Amino acid sequence: MATEVSFLPLGAIIQELRVGGLNIVQGFPTQELYESHNGPFFGETIGRVANRIAGAKLNSLNNGQSYSLAANNGPNNLHGGVVGWGKRVWNGPTPVGVRSIPGLEGSQLDGGESVKFTLTSEDGDEGFPGTVEATVIYTVGTQQQNGKEVIVLGIEYEAELVGGADETVINMTNHSYFNLTGGPSIEGTEITLATNSYLPVDDGGIPTGGPAIFSKVPEGGKAFTLGAVEPDIDDCFVVNKAAGSVPIDTRSSPLTKLVTASHPETKIHLEVLSTEPAFQFYTGKYIDVPAVAGLPARNARSGFCVEPSRYVNAANVDEWKSQMLLKKGEKYGARIVYRAWKE
């Protein structure tokens, strides 16, 4: 695996993504430190269900049954519960040879070395029904762009319901926090979002209806700059408004560029692409990690997150439910791609 990128079995975590010598993802040097200090979910593979589930309850699955989940975010379930998939030790990394990244634009991908992590999530794991076998495949390579080397990290998710129930819900993503500045804050980072259409939420972060216009950022395709405090963002942006048309497996869908980011001083650039219909963009207001192992403390706005995913709380909204409803015999799938380079 290329030295620019490293992973951990715990949470199938992305531990390092180095660009021009700078690790642009927040993390820790050892697995033990993730176990003791990773309240913010640095780099974790999130599952079974990323983001929030209202009332920590699945209202109706498997012929109308309801399922109680851990309320670990106020009254709601967040990121799979107390011990979600990001807190579990996965099997791997297992080398799986050289792979391509479908739909990747630009020059040919050089490298493509890939590794796989697998996890069996038991029936009743954190309250969720059904036994699920989950897989994450990371593919690392480079592209040439205007004479610069671009580091490419592809992520492919797959999950299958293998027993214990006829239906369950899945919504996987990666929870890396990016910092392109080389300093303690993301201040000065220039951001462009693909859209300013978002899901309005209540005080607990649960959507109250369909997409609306988010006033804190300009319309899609126009850049804005992250300041020391504002804009403070932790919202789900919608790139595919046809909620009911989203398949449980989006891997064959086109890659959409969700977010571009750069910093004028470090000259580091990042693009996040995905096949997913939505993405949470979070400016890290609640990061609170003390200084450990020679690393400085990580506080508010020490990183920003881009979490490609299905709509928040889709499991409990009839019009959105098909996005994350996994039935026996089907496969859940999704893809994310990071492209990063230094001018």
Give the residues across from 260 on adjacent strands.
Answer: 192, 271
Cα distances (angstroms) measured from residue 62 to each of 48, 58, 164, 325 = 17, 11, 11, 11
Q: At 260, list the tokens.
A: 């571009």
Give catalytic status of residue 263 as yes or no: no
CB-based contact 90:44 (threshold 8 Å): no
Spatial distance between the Cα atoms of 126 and 120, rounded to a whole number of angstroms: 13
CB-based contact 325:331 (threshold 8 Å): no
Widest CA span in the chain? 57
Cα distances (angstroms) measured from residue 334 to each of 123, 310, 318 = 22, 10, 21
DSSP string of 78-96, one letter each residue:
ETTSTT-GGGSBPEEEEEE
DSSP string of 16-44, one letter each residue:
EEEETTEE-B---SSHHHHHHH-TT-TTP
Among residues 37, 79, 175, 263, the one annotated as catalytic is 175
3-state DSSP helix/strand/coil % of the chain, to nearest 5: 5, 45, 45
Residue entry with tokens 């992520």: 155
Per residue in 320-331, is it b (16+ CB within 10 Å) or e — as a string? bbebbbbeeebe
Q: At 326, list the tokens.
A: 């996994």
The catalytic site residues sit at: 175
